[in-house]
Structure 1
């Protein structure tokens, strides 16, 4: 296979061509498939040594798969993981109780990074905006939607005028065109966002409404186009992202808003609770 601009992930290329490989190349391919999550930390010499083959075999394998060299493989792996593509290896979780300890440590790191980047002044400004805005519109697509939905549900306990947009299977333009200038748009944008998200941020930057962006480190490029950006790392010890830091941030924001408008918030919570009982909506 000649070198190309093919962006097919390394794991899929190896699986597709595995039967065409020679015995030595299969040893390298098997090791790579078992260590996809950690592939970016290895060198070609490491792969050769750990697979028990020559470095020339490693080089030949990746050239056969369409890469210029192993550095091109590592670049692709880093890029895919950066943008949220799940890359699972058979050894990522380890054995025994190791996964629990490693998972807990990674979660602590994510939450610490999230909170340490949140200065008191910025946080106070965000809460004040959430309190003062006549209307809050929250937008979140794909994996961002559950976080957006939870944020809406929590804020709605403390204040009225909080909604998600767009409505299911509807377009966004109708939702945004009638927004008051003082309205606040909360854009929840975690990686693997649809292309529309970038266009949305660029469009909102030209509008009078202020924008609060909640996302992972890949949203850094939107920093200059929004009023505030709150960052929540998603890294885990294996393939799938964790939204624990994002959900913790939602809890922190909702609690701060409630305490800012404590009397009105308590009254609203009481009214909601009375309606729960009147409608018999919640079980025991």
Structure 2
């Protein structure tokens, strides 16, 4: 189990101050290798005693033990493993209630960890962009489709990568410094995502990165990184938090854009009415 997996597994049982430390390490695990316990404690605004207790909760006798484990190349994450009871679960109302409780916790913990200034910065980046690019590969591809479906209703020029049958570099060549990017990196990440994000930053575009709590992010790939808790209790990770965050960002963006967004929504509805393609009531 990696350090980030240990942190996420124990997160619900951590105290408020221990969560400050957990959030700091999840953003940049390299600091555990590069900094002392005193430096990390100061940066997280917690005492050294809190830091020592935090690492004991994770199963390490001391900070130094955790530091040595990471320096020696503690197990690298290659994708989420099944929980110990996943194969034994058979389904039913009890399991459904547990599933619901887990998703509620994912939402609550995600909202608690998101900072209002970072959310506002993300919304401002998107509102001021000439074009918005939505990027998602693999597990993130359905979320990218969902984000684009919401954005195209309120803003005119929404691009998506990848598009089936089209080369990514040819599409990406249209990016401008006046553009913004929503990059989705949940579940298993691809090298292509990080390469595109870095290229977008070099092109001067504003990149908003939506990812899980274990992802490092970094200023070389995004101006804002928004992390969601995606803990699953069976075979799959939960995507409730990223879906909710995407919905919130798009709703807040519509309000930020103002009348132009509402006019576009109204025009789209008038087209549907004119074409008669929507069925009222039940099918």
1:214 to 210, 214, 234: 210
Q: Which is greater in Rg?
A: 1
Q: Which has the higher helix share?
A: 1
Q: How big is the alpha-carbon RMSD for the aligned residues of Structure 1 and Structure 2?
A: 2.4
Higher mean C-alpha displacement, 267-276 vs 198-207: 198-207
Aligned residues: 208
1:166 & 1:94 partners in 2: Cα distance?
A: 37
Is the 1:92–1:238 Cα contact (8 Å) retained in structure 2? no
Distance 1:95 1:132, change over 3 A: closer
Q: What SS is found at the alignment partner of 1:214?
A: strand
Q: Which structure 1 residue ranges, 5 or more long, are not aligned? A: 1-42, 44-74
TM-score calculated relative to the size of structure 1: 0.66
Give 4+ residue runs of structure 1 displaced > 3 Å after superposition: 85-97, 221-224
List aligned pairs for 1:12-161, cutoff 5 A: 79-80=77-78, 83-86=79-82, 89=85, 93=89, 97-161=93-157
Q: What SS is found at the alignment partner of 1:242?
A: coil
Q: What SS is found at the alignment partner of 1:260?
A: helix
Q: Which structure 2 residue ranges, 5 or more long, are not aligned? A: 1-58, 60-73
List aligned pairs for 1:189-268, cutoff 5 A: 189-222=185-218, 224-268=220-264
TM-score calculated relative to the size of structure 2: 0.66
1:277 & 1:200 partners in 2: Cα distance?
A: 39
Distance 1:250 1:92, change over 3 A: farther
Q: What SS is found at the alignment partner of 1:157?
A: coil
Q: What SS is found at the alignment partner of 1:158?
A: coil
Higher mean C-alpha displacement, 224-233 vs 136-145: 224-233
1:96 & 1:131 partners in 2: Cα distance?
A: 44
Q: What SS is found at the alignment partner of 1:127?
A: helix
2:216 & 2:82 partners in 1: Cα distance?
A: 21
2:262 & 2:272 partners in 1: Cα distance?
A: 15
Q: What SS is found at the alignment partner of 1:218?
A: coil
Is the 1:191–1:218 Cα contact (8 Å) retained in structure 2? no
